[in-house]
Amino acid sequence: MVKITDVARHAGVSPSTVSYALSGKRPISEETRQRIEDSIRELGYRPHAGARALASSRSNVLALVVPLRTGIHVPVVMQFAVSVVTAARRHDHDVLLLTQEEGEDGLRRVADTALVDALIVMDVQLHDRRLPLLRALDRPSVLIGFPAEPAGLTCIDLDFKAAGELCVEHLAGLGHRVIGLVGSPPEVYVRETGFAQRVVQGFTAAADRNGLSSSVHPCEAAPAAARQVAEQLLRERPALTGVVVHNEPVLEPLIDAFESLGLRVPGDLSVTAICPDEVAEQTRVPVTSIAIPTAEVGTGAVELLMRKLGGATAVPEATLLSPRLTVRGSTMPRP
Amino acid sequence: MVKITDVARHAGVSPSTVSYALSGKRPISEETRQRIEDSIRELGYRPHAGARALASSRSNVLALVVPLRTGIHVPVVMQFAVSVVTAARRHDHDVLLLTQEEGEDGLRRVADTALVDALIVMDVQLHDRRLPLLRALDRPSVLIGFPAEPAGLTCIDLDFKAAGELCVEHLAGLGHRVIGLVGSPPEVYVRETGFAQRVVQGFTAAADRNGLSSSVHPCEAAPAAARQVAEQLLRERPALTGVVVHNEPVLEPLIDAFESLGLRVPGDLSVTAICPDEVAEQTRVPVTSIAIPTAEVGTGAVELLMRKLGGATAVPEATLLSPRLTVRGSTMPRP
DNA sequence: GCGTGACGTCGAAGCGCTTCGACGGGGGAA
DNA sequence: TTCCCCCGTCGAAGCGCTTCGACGTCACGC
């Protein structure tokens, strides 16, 4: 193994000079820097991560806690993970993968052993058990998602309330008067995952504001459940012309169900969804939708952490990303 | 931060004794060990990961390289990742997440900086560019998947050839004489991903062996493509009564297409698939299938690495997991 | 009764890097 | 010219842990 003293000897300087040339923490003459860089290249030097971590008390590793539970859309989780890793690399950091199963002990372990400098936690629930721990930990963290009491924590996510509103505004603007929300599985509401409830809030608020008649229907992630909800909607609200779907796996089956019940989309029924673009594009009728901006959220989370690690004083506690609605073929003016 | 010297002082022993008590590398009297453990608990001591890595030249971290490409089923990747993390934790290791995008440089970086002790690489292609590097690296690695030339590497995966064969044997045993394989998208074969080709090999070999008439049809991962393939199959092979599907997203649309073309599953057409159980179970007719044993593969990969890290001499180069076929409602004897 | 070895523990020497204080030399200000 | 300060570099002191060799003690065998 080639170490910093080897490089120093080869370049005719002291080890500390090599270190400063690498970190830029002190000025080094252009000429010396060049010589050092040449030596590094020639010898194939790589600083030892452990030694660096010990001496600098910085590991340059971030922890990412990913959820494992039912009712969450796996590809979206993966997208978050990838964007976090990519963003972290841009800041010369790596990412340690933790499963939610590890729970609070896992968080404490990687933080207390100084394995990681900071943490990113996904799938935060309204009353998440990890919150007190995250507040107490000596390393900074960022949550993807909003708990009920975000004070003292840094959170980032799509503004799901605004997303719910935006869907309604879109339908209202097209003249629809009776609309329904087909939501996530009941257990998602039960365990109080913030974003699902916030969609409902936005949906309801915007419907009221616009004087629309609206109703909300949780739905299991199965085709049969979709069919049931479709039938129920038509039975209870025959004047229905607009639907908002917040439940990825059910989007396609739901449209199928409506069509087989005699409603054409978008001719008789306009459909919008909150879901990844791939899901919205792969249905038989491409669906007007609001995507979860996984790349921005992941990148944003990392940027926030970097600012905190950099000692920034005022990092915003709440970062809500504005929803963007992409119009596709599934919505049209009320007939 | 509480360190080992604090524990030592508190327990009335020397730091080295604490270290040995923790690692078990030298005998420590029961009484002293107890005292040390008490002190550790009382003080809340956690060994510093960086210091440990520096002194022992072991980071207790594994790298996991996950694929990002089109044509691979994301939930399966996630399952691998989770099982790797879980297995690694059982051996007191953590997992660093690398994206394939980082490529060879990323592998070299984490290995050369001693950030990780060993590497797990997923989605290995037949002529993977990373193979020479993995052979040359000074840390052990395990591949999930088999390249064309696996000599000198440790590989583990489902035996896809046997899986292809098993599907055919199952259909042949039910009396089917004319069968087809609906495969992965053409690009998967083009980039020479081993497992797809091996399914074809197994399928063809078993069909020949059993005197069946067979044909192979790559298929894009889109409903429209599925429809096309279904039409083509019926046109070209009117006597077809058995189909093997190796293409997750197309399974459901393909069955839909067959049914809308007048073929009942399994009445007129028996269907088997190689896909995750969730996919096989969520179709309208549950599909007889061979699952990719993600948990075993992930765990197996970690076990192999641990043996290599433990200095085991003879770790098997190739580990092929036998396929298991789960019979569901989509296959029946030929009418 | 004494050599032998295993047991349990200690002290010291690093592991490879960062960082702090110091120091010589070369301006710019006074 | 003198003083001061900044620039560029060096040396040394750790960071917190593991590990090697050494040492005292005790039991055992002959």
**CB < 8 Å to B223, chain A:** 282, 284
Nucleic strand C near CB of residue A3 (< 7 Å): yes
Contact B109 A46 (CB under 8 A): yes
A268 and A299 fall within a common domain: no
A101 and A186 fall within a common domain: no
A246 and A303 fall within a common domain: no
CATH code at A34?
1.10.260.40
B53 falls within a domain: no
CA-to-CA distance for B285 and A290, rounded, in angstroms?
Answer: 32
Cis preceding-peptide flag for A266 (omega within 30 of 0): yes
B206 falls within a domain: yes
Q: Which two tokens stand for residue B307?
A: 């043996």
Residue A93 pLDDT greater than 70, yes or no? yes
Kindly indicate the confidence band of residue A196, based on its pLDDT and cuts at 50, 70 and 90: confident
A118 and A149 fall within a common domain: yes
Distance B316 CA to C27 C1' (A): 69
CA-to-CA distance for B151 and B125, rounded, in angstroms?
Answer: 14
Instruction: Tell me what the mean pLDDT of segment B13-18 comes to.
Output: 96
Number of domain units in chain A: 3
Sheet containing A141-144: order of strands: A318-321, A155-158, A141-144, A118-121, A61-66, A94-99, B94-99, B61-66, B118-121, B141-144, B155-158, B318-321
CA-to-CA distance for A283 and A147, rounded, in angstroms?
Answer: 33
A29 falls within a domain: yes
**CB < 8 Å to A48, chain B:** 54, 113-114
B29 falls within a domain: yes
B221 and B257 fall within a common domain: yes
Three-state helix/strand/coil letters over B250-292: HHHHHHHHHHHCCCCCCCCCEEEEECCHHHHHCCCCCCEEECC
The Cα-based distances of B301 to A216, A218, B126 in angstroms read: 46, 40, 19
Instruction: Tell me what the mean pLDDT of segment A128-157 comes to.
Output: 94
H/E segment holding residue A62:
strand A61-66
Q: Report pLDDT for B191.
A: 66
CA-to-CA distance for A72 and A74, rounded, in angstroms?
Answer: 6
Residues on A contacting B at a C-beta cutoff of 8 Å: 44, 46-54, 57, 59, 61, 64, 68, 74-75, 77-78, 81-82, 85-86, 89, 94-99, 101-102, 109-110, 112-115, 222-223, 282, 284
Q: Report pLDDT for A74.
A: 85
A42 and A72 fall within a common domain: no
A174 and A100 fall within a common domain: no
Nucleic strand C near CB of residue B5 (< 7 Å): no
* Percent above pLDDT 90 for chain A: 69
Residue B202 pLDDT greater than 90, yes or no? yes
Q: Is residue A212 within 8 Å of residue A177, measured between CB atoms?
A: yes
Instruction: Tell me what the mean pLDDT of segment B29-40 comes to.
Output: 95
A177 and A264 fall within a common domain: yes
Contact A48 B113 (CB under 8 A): yes
Neighbours of B140 (CB within 10 A): 20
Q: Report pLDDT for A335.
A: 72
CA-to-CA distance for A215 and A192, rounded, in angstroms?
Answer: 20
Residue A225 pLDDT greater than 90, yes or no? no
Instruction: Tell me what the mean pLDDT of segment A84-106 comes to.
Output: 95
Q: Report pLDDT for B68.
A: 82
A331 falls within a domain: no
What's the gap in Å between the CA of B52 and the closest CA on chain A? 8
CA-to-CA distance for B155 and B198, rounded, in angstroms?
Answer: 15
Kindly indicate the confidence band of residue B321, based on its pLDDT and cuts at 50, 70 and 90: very high
Out of A46, A57, A102, name the one closest to residue B112 (CB).
Answer: A46
A127 and A190 fall within a common domain: no
Contact B51 A52 (CB under 8 A): no
Q: Which two tokens stand for residue B114?
A: 């001693």
Q: Report pLDDT for B170.
A: 95
B253 falls within a domain: yes
* Helix %, strand %, coil % of chain B (to 5): 45, 15, 35
| Least reliable range by pLDDT among A143-157, A164-178, B189-203 | B189-203
Nucleic strand C near CB of residue A289 (< 7 Å): no
Which residue did the predictor score with more confidence, B50 or B315? B50
A185 and A257 fall within a common domain: yes
Kindly indicate the confidence band of residue A191, based on its pLDDT and cuts at 50, 70 and 90: low
Angle, helix A4-11 to helix A30-43, in steps of 10 degrees = 120
H/E segment holding residue A64:
strand A61-66
B165 and B286 fall within a common domain: yes
**CB < 8 Å to A77, chain B:** 78
Nearest C-alpha in B relative to A109: B46
A330 falls within a domain: no
Contact B48 A61 (CB under 8 A): no
Please identify, among B252, B269, B291, the residue that sits at the C-terminal boundary of a domain.
B291
Q: Report pLDDT for B200.
A: 93
A129 and A184 fall within a common domain: no
**pLDDT (tens digit, 9 = 90+) per residue, B141-161?**
999 999 999 988 999 999 999
Q: Is residue A111 within 8 Å of residue B48, measured between CB atoms?
A: no
Residue B8 pLDDT greater than 80, yes or no? yes
Contact A284 B74 (CB under 8 A): no
Contact A50 B61 (CB under 8 A): no
A179 falls within a domain: yes
Q: Report pLDDT for B306.
A: 96
**pLDDT (tens digit, 9 = 90+) per residue, A25-72?**
999 999 999 999 999 999 999 999 999 999 999 999 999 999 987 667
**pLDDT (tens digit, 9 = 90+) per residue, B216-249?**
999 988 888 888 899 999 899 988 899 999 998 8
Nucleic strand C near CB of residue A286 (< 7 Å): no
**pLDDT (tens digit, 9 = 90+) per residue, B98-153?**
999 888 999 999 999 999 999 999 989 889 999 999 999 999 999 999 999 998 89
Beta-sheet strands, E only, within A208-335:
213-217, 242-245, 270-274, 288-290, 318-321, 325-326
CA-to-CA distance for A111 and A119, rounded, in angstroms?
Answer: 8
Instruction: Tell me what the mean pLDDT of segment A156-177 comes to.
Output: 95
CATH code at B104?
3.40.50.2300
**pLDDT (tens digit, 9 = 90+) per residue, B246-269?**
998 889 889 988 988 888 888 899
Q: Report pLDDT for B96.
A: 98
Residue B186 pLDDT greater than 90, yes or no? no
How does the average pLDDT of chain B come out, rounded?
92
**pLDDT (tens digit, 9 = 90+) per residue, A228-280?**
899 998 899 888 899 999 988 889 889 988 888 888 888 889 999 999 998 89
| Structural domain range at position B215 | 160-291
Q: What is the CB-side half-sphere exposure of residue A195 using CA atoms within 13 A?
A: 25
Kindly indicate the confidence band of residue A313, based on its pLDDT and cuts at 50, 70 and 90: confident
